Amino acid sequence: MEKLLLRNKYIVALVSLLLTSGAEMLSAGEVGGLSGAYLRPPVGAAALAMGGASSASPDYLACWWNPSMIAPAKEKKIEIGTGTRSLGRTDLYGQFTFKVPPRLGMGFFILYRGDPFLDNLYNDDYDNPQKLDRASYTTLTSKIALSYNFTKKIYAGINIGILYQRLPTALDENGDWIYTSSNGIGSIDAAVLYKVNERLKLSVVARDFFALMTWDIASDGNYQINDRPLPSLTIASSYEDALFGKPFKWTVDLKGYVFDNEWNALDHKEAYLSTGVQLQNWEAFALRLGIGDIRLNGQFMDDEYRDEFFCKIGAGISMDLSSIVKGLHANYGVSTDKLWAGIDQQLDFSFRF
């Protein structure tokens, strides 16, 4: 028993060290205003509640978080959800995954992020503000994923992303908005997951590599803009055990931004730490808590850093509804935004069959 406790403590310490070891090497800076910002907030109620730490969790929205987790699942799975962001924007998402025996898994995912219900948005011209129409901001992101089970301990996966955006980009002679849309095919996510034992999983996930969207801007002089969302690399862990005799899960994500999509080193490299726990004190009900987007860089010990809201806090619940419909599961998550200006929330359902 003592050896088991010692081994578990060693594993937890090793994971903690692994996920925080790179922080001091990062310079000051922020990636929030750079390309692809709409892809960075968490997707899924469970992930939102646990601070956005979901990259090594078992097959929850795997096409988005970690495509390597599709192959280990034995059943087909459908997940649908919706949510609102703190400023009123809307999320809609869905996923379908299935296994292709004996070792392959496939999945399809789609995410909508936009503002179909907002009617009080204006441009940033304070002298002559122009009101935006409803649904001025529209994005669609879809992913087609493949996963392969190499051994009982090693899984790998990859997905190809299709990106679409529609934005107001100029005013015509009558003062009406000109809308421009753009799409891109070929954004790549890749993941590897290593199952250390029944309790601990470690994973590395590369996201948004080779993403490119080209905008044709209509104005006095027509021109093109190449939009390249920032790629990221995430090191993640998921640890499951018992706490006070009840199921317990602890997840950690460390996401780093080192270079842009043209392989140029960023002037200010940066990492974000997110972590969450799940406590299941009831047979069909679980609580989730998390903190996310803790920015790790050279300002970590500065007074200015501590004066800011340096993280967001999430909470949520999970309910097993199999007593009503076999295979049905519900999740609800709520979180502060990074500036603590409002609340994000999401609700989703998963159905295994």
Pairwise CA distance, residues 161 & 164, whole Å: 10
Taking 90 as the threshold, does the pLDDT of residue 44 lie above it? Answer: yes
Burial 296-333 (b: 16+ CB within 10 A, else e): bbbbeeeeeeeeeeebbebbbbbbbeeeeeeebbbbbb
String of DSSP letters for 154-167: EEEEEEEEEEEEEE
Taking 50 as the threshold, does the pLDDT of residue 2 lie above it? Answer: no
The neighbour count for residue 106, using CB atoms within 10 Å, is 19
- Using CB atoms within 10 Å of the CB of residue 242, give its burial: 0 to 12 exposed, 13 to 18 middle, 19+ buried: exposed
pLDDT for residue 18 = 39
Q: Is the distance from CB of 123 to CB of 130 less than 8 angstroms?
A: yes
**Averaged pLDDT, 213-218:** 75
What domains lie within the chain, and their CATH numbers?
Answer: 2-352 (2.40.160.60)
Distances (CA, A) of 281 to 23, 179, 242: 34, 51, 10
Pairwise CA distance, residues 209 & 261, whole Å: 6
pLDDT for residue 22 = 40
Pairwise CA distance, residues 54 & 66, whole Å: 8
- Using CB atoms within 10 Å of the CB of residue 86, give its burial: 0 to 12 exposed, 13 to 18 middle, 19+ buried: middle
204/38: higher pLDDT? 204
Sign of the C-alpha dihedral, residues 324, 327, 328, 334? Answer: positive
> Position of tokens 């949520």?
316
Sign of the C-alpha dihedral, residues 150, 156, 162, 164? Answer: positive
DSSP bridge partners of 179 = 168
Taking 90 as the threshold, does the pLDDT of residue 1 lie above it? Answer: no
- Token duo for residue 24: 């001091």
The neighbour count for residue 119, using CB atoms within 10 Å, is 13
CA-nearest of 123, 139, 141 to 131 is 123
pLDDT digits (tens, 9 = 90+) for 253-283: 999 998 888 888 888 788 999 999 999 888 8
CA-nearest of 295, 188, 194, 190 to 237 is 194
pLDDT for residue 11 = 40
* Segment holding 5, helix H or strand E: helix 2-20
pLDDT for residue 29 = 45
Pairwise CA distance, residues 42 & 79, whole Å: 15
pLDDT digits (tens, 9 = 90+) for 114-164: 887 776 666 556 566 666 666 578 899 999 999 999 999 999 999 999 999
pLDDT digits (tens, 9 = 90+) for 71-99: 988 889 999 999 998 877 899 999 999 99
Lowest-confidence segment of 31-35, 135-139, 316-320 by average pLDDT: 31-35
| 106, amino acid identity | M
| 326, amino acid identity | K
Q: Collapsing DSSP states into helix, strand and coil, what is residue 46? A: helix
Going by pLDDT thresholds of 50, 70 and 90, the confidence category of residue 191 is very high
| 8, amino acid identity | N
DSSP bridge partners of 233 = 206, 256
Q: Collapsing DSSP states into helix, strand and coil, what is residue 19? A: helix
Pairwise CA distance, residues 34 & 267, whole Å: 12
Specify the pTM.
0.83
Average pLDDT across the chain, whole number: 83
| 54, amino acid identity | S
